[in-house]
Structure 1
């Protein structure tokens, strides 16, 4: 048969590598979810900066979004974002949320992230200009293994693990997460975490 040239082989290897990474990330999510089933998800709380974690989570996606000619921007209102929480789980939740916003974007992802303070809460808003969801989907979006399949979704890989996982982590931090969405306009996720007294 035809022999593959070096470039083709390199391309295949690159694809395998990427898919492998993705599978590993998903396996990790599955493991984390099964740990939650056993109520084993204990937070390793430490003094942390919510601002630092949010910045890191956004930075994580800058390159991949730019490669698709999109953008992700972050606005942090002046304030003190010191908090006693689990920075690893917190970042994991945010990464899942932003990843979700990018996945459900159109060809060109446009995502904005805002961090601010309200009276007793830290507020994180992740807004996409994606395909949006109807009310039925919005009400199920935090269910485990749920995944919206309606609408014009390009190359959506993954499953609904992400958002139930996000909710669990927010929950463990004593916070709330809410979603507002409109078909064809996009979705806005709002996390509120009570400041440490």
Structure 2
């Protein structure tokens, strides 16, 4: 993309230089029309520069979008290959070795976790596509949000570090009911918790709280991870945007999760705010009015 920009700027410089040259020649031929030539030339230069700057911004925006799409495709490829390779390895082990029944159940359970991971990613991509082309209607119903959050927490719970310590620490007020799209809000809760786990260090605790306060329902997801810079807090909900640069980013992801979260919550007239956690990490606060 550098070569087109060089040609673009070269043409602009050439056009402006030609404009000055022809202006100079006209002034020499008709010195009595100096004021008119300078006025019209100035207007032309201003319009030309405004157009050139607008075109530059459009090209630069398109270039960044293409880079994000390319990174998205690379991320999706990696996200697909990793669980598929894991599933294949477990199944080949079951097929080729004589294992105890408990080992087979353990491997099957791990395969199912990878299948859930693939399913979440596919649902994210489908939901994002439907939201973008306005084909998703967000059907509303009254349901138990406490059970939904508890189910997501149990599915994403990781307990490999210490049998006495849970990775996800949940405080869920019982029988919290809201009216909304249960499928889409499941995606919201899943994405928020998965993000907190993804951007935390191994075995670091993630805190999930659901409670009522002053007639509103609050969902808080807090981690002790890398945190989010202030200048990125307003951009993390953009489609394909991911925290950090491509050179320094280590975490996996497609850049769709928080985009879906914001779009779904907007359709439910719910608010989401990103705060700094103490001493490190981030807190995502969702409020249903």
What TM-score, normalized by structure 1, do the two folds share? Answer: 0.80
Residue 77 of structure 1 deviates from its aligned partner by 3.7
Q: Distance in 2 between matches of 1:33 and 1:109?
A: 30
Residue 89 of structure 1 deviates from its aligned partner by 1.2
Q: Distance in 2 between matches of 1:171 and 1:46?
A: 17
- The answer for unaligned runs of 5 or more in structure 2 is 1-84, 92-110
**Runs of 4 or more consecutive aligned structure 1 residues displaced over 4 Å after TM superposition:** 15-24, 150-154
Structure 2 equivalent of residue 164 of structure 1: 259
Structure 1 equivalent of residue 88 of structure 2: 13
Structure 2 equivalent of residue 122 of structure 1: 217
Structure 1 equivalent of residue 182 of structure 2: 87
Max Rg structure: 2
Q: Does the CA-based 8 Å contact 2:140-2:180 persist in structure 1?
A: yes
| Number of equivalences | 181
Change (3 A) 1:182 1:126: closer
Point out the structure with the larger helix share: 2
2:229 to 134, 149, 166: 134
Structure 1 equivalent of residue 159 of structure 2: 66
1:56-90 per-position Cα deviation (integer Å, ceiling 9, x unaligned): 1111111xx21255511111246x51222121211
Structure 1 equivalent of residue 21 of structure 2: none
Q: Distance in 2 between matches of 1:58 and 1:193?
A: 19
Report the secondary structure of 2:234's partner residue. Answer: helix
What TM-score, normalized by structure 2, do the two folds share? Answer: 0.56
Point out the structure with the larger strand share: 1
Q: Give the number of the structure with larger relative contact order, counting CA–CA contacts within 8 Å between residues 6 or more apart.
A: 1
Report the secondary structure of 1:51's partner residue. Answer: helix
Report the secondary structure of 2:203's partner residue. Answer: coil
- The answer for unaligned runs of 5 or more in structure 1 is 1-9
1:80-107 per-position Cα deviation (integer Å, ceiling 9, x unaligned): 5122212121111100110000000012
